[in-house]
Structure 1
Amino acid sequence: MTGAVVAIACLFLGILLRSLPKFPEELAAKWVQEYLIRIVLPALALLYIPAIKPSWDLLIPISVAWFTFLLSWAVFGFLGKWLNWGKNVTGCLIIVAGLANTSFLGFPVIEGLYGKEGLPIALLIDQGGSFLLVSSLSILVGSLYGNHSESLTQVPLKIIKFPPFGFLIGALLMSLMDIPTPEWLIPFLTLIGKTMPPMALLVIGLRFSADMKLISSRFFWYGLTYRLIFAPAMVWLIYREFLDPKSLEFKVSVLESGMAPMITGSIIAIQFGLQPKLATLLSGLGMPISGISLAIFYLLLG
């Protein structure tokens, strides 16, 4: 609870600093983004990924995050090209709407609704799904749709050079080879990892602007409709063929897929120049709005 209070306080701190005359909010946001991308994401990869022991039983809940991201890519990729939205808007919606806030928002919601029994499932979806995606496919989308998009032959190099990706590959190899993260590193990595929610919300606050024109735009509501309604509805329809609809695994999977857009996903979109204001609004306003949709899905799940 304390961590959540501090994180939300950082959101309002960012908004306050942004309102100060002559405060360099753009430079401050860039510094915090660099810290998140180059230090926090690699630290989280080393902290969590090696602890995941690969097994077939884990694939179904983990696949939920991958399914909804790839579905987002298919839906917005098709609509963006068909309706000529432009690469920046399309890429922003693919990444931000495709990634759910499965940890900062998801963990307390799942624990509050289903108790500690639901947390291991939520952790699998987050670490094996959302976190791997934000460090891999979201970078690919950013490279393909961003302001500085290169040719397809240059995209792999850009992904490899992106700091979290190298640490992700190393952490995955550690998991596959059953090599644990050194004990002496864990306290430092944990401390760094705890700075993710407050620093991410600080960036959102520094970039937040209640632009009514943007809030009323169809792109904002397309993104939220996909993330809060369409994605969990599709998980419900498809995954009931693989999981017992009354099981805790099924219920947690549906609710986690209906969380608000992931804050880190917004930061990745911002890093690649993909509609920063839209990305910020989707993750910032998505959290309070998702309270309504999550309550409805919780009641429908029983």
Structure 2
Amino acid sequence: MTGALVAFLCLFLGLVLQKVDKFPSEKAANWVQAYLIYIVLPALALLYIPKIQPSWGLLIPVSAAWFTFLLSWGIFGYLGKKLNWGKNVTGCLIIVAGLANTSFLGFPVIEGLYGREGLPIALLIDQGGSFLLVSSLSILVGSLYGNHSESLKQVPLKILKFPPFGFLVGTLMMSLFQIPTPEVLIPSLQIIGKTMPSMALLVIGLRFSVDLQSISSKFFWYGLGYRLILAPALVWLIYSQVMDSRSLEFKVTVLESGMAPMITGSIIAIQFGLQPRLASLLSGLGMPISAISLAIWYFLLG
């Protein structure tokens, strides 16, 4: 609870600093963004990924995050090309709408609704799904749709040079071969990892601006509509065929699929120049709006 309070205070601080004359809000946002991308994401990978015990039983709930991201890519990629939205808008919607806020928002919501029994499932979905996606496929989308997009031949090199991806590959190997993170590093990694929500919201605050044009943008509502309504609805419909719809695993999987857009996903989109205002708005304003949709999904799930 204290961490959430600090994080929202950082959001408020960013909003205030943005209005201060002569304060270099854009430069400050870039610095914090670099800290998140190059320090926090690798630290989180090293902290959590080696703990995942690979097994076939984990694939069903974890696959929901991959399914909704790939579906986002398919839907927005097709519509963007057909309707000439432009690569920046299309890439932004694929990444930001495709990734759910399964940790910062998801963990406290799941614990509050289902108790600590739901947290291990939420952790698996976040670490095996959302976190791996934001460190891998989101970078691929950013490379393909961003302002500095290269040819397809250059995309793999750009992904390999992106620090979070290198740490992701290394920590996946550690998980596969059951190599634990050295104990001496864990306290430092935990401290760094705890700064993620507050620093991510600080970036959102420094860049966040709401106006009638932004709120009325069809792209904003397309993104939220997909993330809060269509994605969880399809997960419910499809995954009820292979999971017990009364089980805790199923309920957590559906609710995690309906969380607001992931803050770190918006940071990745901004890093690649994919509609920074739209990305910030989707993840920032998406959180309070998702309170309504999550309450409805919780009621429907029983």
TM-score (norm 2): 1.00
How far 1:211 sits from its partner (Å)?
2.3
Matches within 5 A, 1:145-184: 145-184=145-184
Q: How many residues align?
A: 302
1:17 aligns with 2:17: yes
1:247 aligns with 2:233: no
| Counterpart for residue 80 of structure 2 | 80
| Counterpart for residue 95 of structure 2 | 95
| Counterpart for residue 197 of structure 1 | 197
| Counterpart for residue 50 of structure 1 | 50
| Counterpart for residue 6 of structure 1 | 6
| Counterpart for residue 63 of structure 2 | 63
Q: Distance in 1 between matches of 2:82 and 2:271?
A: 26
How far 1:212 sits from its partner (Å)?
1.7
Question: What one-letter code is carried by the residue in structure 1 that aligns with 2:135?
Answer: S
- DSSP 3-state at the match of 2:156: helix
Q: Distance in 2 between matches of 1:75 and 1:265?
A: 18
| Counterpart for residue 238 of structure 1 | 238
How far 1:214 sits from its partner (Å)?
1.3
Q: Deviations over 1:33-71 (max 9, x none)?
A: 000000000000000000001000000011010000000
Q: Deviations over 1:127-168 (max 9, x none)?
A: 000000000000000000000000000000000011100000
| Counterpart for residue 133 of structure 2 | 133
* Root mean square deviation of aligned Cα: 0.4
Unaligned runs of 5+ in 2: none
1:187 aligns with 2:184: no
- DSSP 3-state at the match of 2:188: helix
Q: Distance in 2 between matches of 1:104 and 1:176?
A: 26
Q: Distance in 2 between matches of 1:159 and 1:270?
A: 16
- DSSP 3-state at the match of 2:181: coil
Q: Distance in 1 between matches of 2:214 and 2:246?
A: 39
Q: Distance in 1 between matches of 2:132 and 2:163?
A: 13
- DSSP 3-state at the match of 2:180: coil
Q: Distance in 2 between matches of 1:25 and 1:215?
A: 22
Question: What one-letter code is carried by the residue in structure 1 that aligns with 2:78?
Answer: F
1:228 aligns with 2:228: yes
How far 1:242 sits from its partner (Å)?
0.9
Q: Distance in 2 between matches of 1:147 and 1:211?
A: 24
| Counterpart for residue 264 of structure 2 | 264
Q: Deviations over 1:277-300 (max 9, x none)?
A: 000000000000000000000000
